[in-house]
């Protein structure tokens, strides 16, 4: 009996130790990674393939497009969502795999769940992006610091710091010289600042802006022109470094004239030696020297290949100093130079990091029309970068821009900047707090005093403000948005009509999207019967205005 017990114990012990471990293996029934959506992290039920070749869950793609968000994939790349095609092959494979493993087939995630997942992913990537920005800003500051001019505490510098700034508010006159519509190519109006001129004196005329927007620095290149530019550069540098004030003034006037009339010399003349020499005169206490040196820099900056070189030469901090306390006309040119330099994507972050945003915001209240216009366009291009958007919001730009919109001064350009700010969560939150919804609805209601492009941009901004906001619906109803949106659907442009239709769906409790709608029945009875889906948001990308 005792041995029986012993055998039983042995048999029991062997049974427990030899229990199959396959049922405890976490790899069993684990789907292949190709079946998992890299955005939602779950098994795909409605997979679609995008332009860049990756496959995602359909609703995740629609939410990403609606929010203007491009996730960073595991390999560091970003997908292209411009086209979406159902991936029937992978869908069939996933369902067969589920059937083989006796698992329930996946069900497509809802729009609400997809939006929560995408917004969580946006927050995570924003944090990583900001960390990356901090490192980049430090590197930029260090790089520029190495190139900053060695300035003695001379009378020229102290005089500049003591000089009173010329900032005034003028809300009675409209300074918009052109109508900027979302369909107008940016190159048509934003390749030359308003201060661009042929004059060698301090008098500038904005009518002297040339119409040819495409420059080819190599079109007139030859050995003779290269030799000529070298001789001119040497002569100019010698005079710029002269101790005689009249020679310095003669040099900057000559440089301004050459860079205006001889476009083929802008690239060869934009050397480190010449930029360094010009930079020291941009803070001169003599008006003619300061004005003409900054104007010459504007001319040099018109060539695309010169833009990054100029920023890396350490000139941006000097331009900022001129904006803060230079002669009024020099301030106009400084705003124009920053606008021109901001056109290059490689310069946008650097200009923001170096501190150009606060003085440019301040220049929106300048007495000079040209300074206001070029400052507004500079801010528009700088606000295309996420880091500059958040900085502008923190600087209190939203109330300033809304006041310009209400006053009609720079309204179109202020709206363009607000469209960019509405693409970030911070901007949307501050704009809702600042009664932006009521402001934009008021502009839409006043269809006689505002242009079609202004009203169209208002609809675009309202649509951006509605994305992911629980407050928007209540604020819009309180402002009477439904009535004006109905008018935009009936009489607005195609783009305004599209956004207005989506906003009306949101007001009715839907998420908005691209759908087929019987709008006649909506206008007559307020009843809509449609199967909607989320659509794209051009405003979130902020590049098509």
CATH code for the domain of 97: 3.30.40.10
Q: What is the pLDDT of residues 196-215, one digit of tens each?
A: 543 333 333 332 333 333 33
For residue 19, give the DSSP letter.
-
Share above pLDDT 90 across residues of the chain, in percent, rounded to a whole number: 33
Phi, psi for 84 (deg, rounded to 5): -130, 125
Residue 377 has pLDDT above 60, yes or no: yes
| 236 falls within a domain | no
In the predicted model, what is the mean pLDDT of residues 348-369? 92
pLDDT at 163 over 50: no
Percent of the chain, pLDDT > 70?
68
Contact of 88 with 33, CB cutoff 8 Å: no
What CA–CA distance (Å, rounded) separates 85 from 50? 6
Task: Please name the residue ranges forming H helices in 434-516.
Answer: 436-445, 452-466, 472-479, 481-491, 494-507
Q: DSSP secondary structure string, 154-223?
A: -HHHHHHHHSPP-B----SS----S---TTS-GGGTSSS-TT----SSS---GGG--S-----TTTT--H
pTM for this entry: 0.57
Per residue in 182-193, pLDDT (tens digit) is: 333 343 345 567
Question: What is the mean predicted confidence (pLDDT) over 20-33?
Answer: 58
Please determine, for residue 178, whether its predicted confidence score (pLDDT) is greater than 60.
no
399, part of any domain:
no
2-11 pLDDT tens trace: 555 545 444 4
pLDDT grade for 410, boundaries at 50, 70 and 90: confident
Q: How confident is the model at residue 77 (pLDDT cuts 50, 70, 90)?
A: confident
In this model, does residue 248 exceed pLDDT 50?
Answer: yes
Q: Show the tokens assigned to 98.
A: 């589920």
The whole-number pLDDT of residue 22 equals: 39
Token pair in block for residue 327: 């002669």
Q: What confidence score (pLDDT) does residue 499 get?
A: 87
Q: Is 504 or 179 the better-scoring residue by pLDDT?
A: 504
CB atoms within 10 A of CB 419: 27
What is the domain extent for residue 64? 33-109
In a domain, 381, yes or no: no
Rounded Cα distance between 137 and 352, Å, is 9
CA dist., res. 522 & res. 501, Å (int)? 10
48 strand-pairing partners: 56, 86
Lowest mean pLDDT among 6-20, 63-77, 436-450: 6-20
Residue 58 clears pLDDT 50, i.e. is over it: yes
- Domain assignment present for 72: yes
In this model, does residue 305 exceed pLDDT 50?
yes
- DSSP letter (8 states) at residue 495: H
pLDDT digits (tens, 9 = 90+) for 459-479: 888 988 888 778 888 898 888
In the predicted model, is pLDDT for residue 491 greater than 50? yes
User: Is residue 456 in some structural domain?
Assistant: no
Give 500's pLDDT tier (boundaries 50, 70, 90): confident
Mean per-residue pLDDT over the chain, rounded: 75
Indicate the number of domains in the chain: 1
């Amino acid at each position: 009996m005792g041995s029986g017990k012993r055998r039983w114990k042995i048999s029991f012990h062997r049974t427990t130790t030899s229990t199959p471990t396959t049922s405890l293996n976490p790899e069993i029934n684990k789907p292949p990674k190709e079946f998992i959506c890299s955005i939602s992290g779950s098994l795909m039920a409605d997979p679609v393939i995008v332009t860049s070749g990756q496959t995602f869950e359909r609703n995740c793609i629609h939410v990403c497009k609606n929010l203007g968000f491009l996730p960073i994939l595991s390999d560091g790349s970003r997908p292209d969502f411009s086209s979406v095609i159902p991936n029937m092959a992978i869908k069939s494979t996933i369902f067969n795999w589920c059937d083989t493993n006796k698992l329930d087939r996946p069900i497509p995630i809802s729009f609400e769940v997809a939006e929560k997942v995408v917004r969580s992913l946006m927050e995570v990537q924003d944090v990583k992006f900001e960390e990356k920005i901090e490192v980049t800003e430090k590197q930029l500051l260090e790089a520029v610091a190495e190139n900053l001019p060695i300035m003695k505490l001379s009378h020229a510098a102290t005089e500049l710091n003591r000089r009173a700034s010329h900032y005034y508010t003028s809300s009675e006159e409209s300074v918009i010289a052109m109508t900027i519509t979302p369909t107008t190519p940016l190159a048509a109006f934003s390749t030359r600042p308003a201060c661009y001129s042929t004059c060698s004196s301090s008098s500038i005329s904005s009518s002297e802006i040339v119409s040819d927007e495409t420059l080819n620095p190599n079109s007139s290149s030859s050995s003779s022109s290269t030799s000529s530019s070298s001789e001119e550069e040497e002569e100019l540098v010698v005079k710029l470094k002269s101790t005689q004030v009249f020679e310095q003034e003669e040099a900057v006037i000559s440089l301004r004239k050459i860079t205006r009339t001889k476009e083929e010399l802008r690239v060869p003349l934009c050397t480190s030696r010449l930029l360094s020499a010009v930079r020291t005169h941009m803070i001169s206490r003599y008006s003619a020297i300061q004005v003409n040196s900054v104007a010459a820099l504007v001319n040099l900056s018109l060539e695309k290949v010169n833009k990054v070189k100029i920023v890396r030469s350490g000139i941006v901090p000097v331009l900022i100093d001129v904006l803060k306390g230079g002669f009024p006309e020099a301030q106009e040119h400084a705003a124009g130079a920053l606008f021109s330099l901001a056109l290059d994507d490689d310069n946008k972050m650097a200009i923001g990091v170096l501190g150009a945003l606060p003085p440019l915001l301040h220049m929106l209240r300048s007495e000079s029309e040209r300074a206001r216009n070029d400052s507004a366009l500079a801010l528009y291009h700088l606000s295309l970068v996420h880091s500059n958007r958040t900085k502008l919001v923190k600087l209190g730009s939203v109330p300033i821009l809304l006041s310009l919109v209400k006053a009609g001064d720079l309204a179109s350009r202020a709206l363009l900047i607000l469209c960019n700010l509405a693409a970030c969560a911070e901007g949307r939150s501050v704009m809702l707090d600042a009664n932006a919804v009521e402001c934009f609805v008021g502009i839409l209601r006043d269809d006689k005093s505002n242009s079609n492009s202004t009203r169209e941009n208002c609809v675009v901004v309202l649509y951006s403000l509605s994305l992911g906001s629980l407050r928007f619906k209540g604020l819009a109803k309180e402002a009477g948005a439904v009535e004006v949106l109905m008018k935009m659907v009936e009489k607005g442009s195609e783009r305004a009509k599209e956004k207005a239709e989506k906003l009306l769906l949101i007001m009715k409790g839907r998420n908005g999207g691209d759908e087929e709608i019987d709008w006649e029945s909506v206008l007559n009875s307020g009843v809509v019967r449609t199967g909607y889906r989320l659509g794209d948001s051009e405003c979130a990308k902020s590049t098509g205005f």
